[in-house]
């Protein structure tokens, strides 16, 4: 459940509470920054969530390996991912199963085109080149183009924000927070002089939004979709 895409969350807490019983329980799993608003109308739900809340960390290399082991089995062993490729995909996907799946699927498609069943570093290199140039994932690329508009400077700003190191504590729900102040100097060094004029498009709903303001911290934002943030890191700066 992506809480960010639910505009009206009123009543959801009471709904979850009323539908729960000794035999039926609900689990909420997904990405969102406003869990409190989801349960605001029913305090007892909040107590239950507090007791059972679990922070889900990104997949480990071992978990990513399992995904590709299952894929190899489904292909009846006719497709083989080398160990170094799986390790690299684990790094590139930043532990997000969906992104690992996208990269792996693109590798299979590219291997078919090249006429090989062995997905090695050469195949992955072709895929990463296509990701960098915006040719690999149409849906993510559409979001990217809509975000940057006609501005390469905005693309630079977006890349700098995506590359910021995450220093939040593991159990803090604001994991993934980025700060404009940490980007300003690097942006100026790259010729981006009017950063504040480029930012609004990234937070406007009709263009995504790509970033969501963190209400209790001035100049601080979160990426609405962490998978898109991982994509931006691999995308070569520019419109094409």
pLDDT for 39: 59
pLDDT for 170: 41
Residue 32 banded pLDDT, cuts 50, 70, 90 = low
Average predicted confidence (pLDDT) for the chain: 83
Does 67 share its domain with 33? no
Angle of helix 43-52 versus helix 12-19 axis, rounded to 10 = 70
Tens digit of pLDDT for each residue in 188-210? 899 998 888 999 999 998 998 99
| Burial class of residue 29 in the structure, from the number of CB atoms within 10 Å of its CB (0-12 exposed, 13-18 middle, 19+ buried) | exposed
Does 184 share its domain with 202? yes
Q: Is residue 105 part of a domain?
A: yes
CATH value at residue 167? 1.10.10
Does 25 share its domain with 94? no
Q: Is residue 141 part of a domain?
A: no
Contact (CB, 8 A) for 130 and 136:
yes
Q: Is residue 93 part of a domain?
A: yes
| Average of per-residue pLDDT across 104-114 | 95
Residue 7 has pLDDT above 90, yes or no: no
Q: Is residue 101 part of a domain?
A: yes
pLDDT for 172: 45
Does 93 share its domain with 38? no
| Average of per-residue pLDDT across 145-159 | 94
Question: Comparing 61 with 229, which gets the higher pLDDT?
Answer: 229
Does 38 share its domain with 95? no
- 113 lies in which domain range? 61-136
Total domains present in the chain: 3
pLDDT for 173: 43
pLDDT for 171: 39
pLDDT for 84: 94
Is 0.75 surpassed by the pTM of this model?
yes
């Amino acid at each position: 459940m992506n809480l960010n895409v639910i505009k009206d969350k009123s009543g959801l807490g009471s709904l979850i509470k009323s539908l729960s019983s000794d035999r039926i329980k609900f689990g909420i799993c997904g990405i969102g920054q406003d869990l409190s608003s989801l349960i605001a109308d029913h305090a007892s739900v909040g107590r239950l969530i507090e007791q059972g809340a679990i922070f889900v960390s990104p997949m480990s290399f071992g978990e990513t390996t399992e995904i590709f082991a299952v894929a190899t089995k489904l292909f009846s062993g006719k497709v083989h991912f080398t160990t170094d490729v799986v390790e690299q995909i684990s790094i590139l996907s930043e532990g997000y199963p969906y992104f690992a799946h996208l990269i792996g699927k693109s590798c299979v498609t590219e291997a078919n085109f090249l006429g090989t069943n062995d997905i090695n570093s050469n195949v992955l290199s072709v895929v990463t080149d296509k990701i960098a140039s915006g040719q690999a994932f149409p849906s993510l690329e559409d979001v990217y183009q809509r975000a940057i508009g006609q501005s390469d400077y905005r693309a630079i700003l977006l890349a700098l924000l995506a590359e910021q190191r995450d220093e939040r504590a593991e159990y803090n729900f604001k994991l993934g927070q980025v700060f404009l102040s940490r980007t300003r100097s690097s942006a100026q060094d790259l010729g981006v002089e009017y950063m504040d004029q480029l930012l609004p498009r990234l937070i406007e709903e009709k263009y995504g939004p790509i970033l969501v303001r963190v209400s209790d911290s001035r100049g601080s934002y979160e990426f609405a979709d962490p998978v898109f943030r991982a994509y931006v890191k691999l995308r070569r700066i520019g419109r094409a």
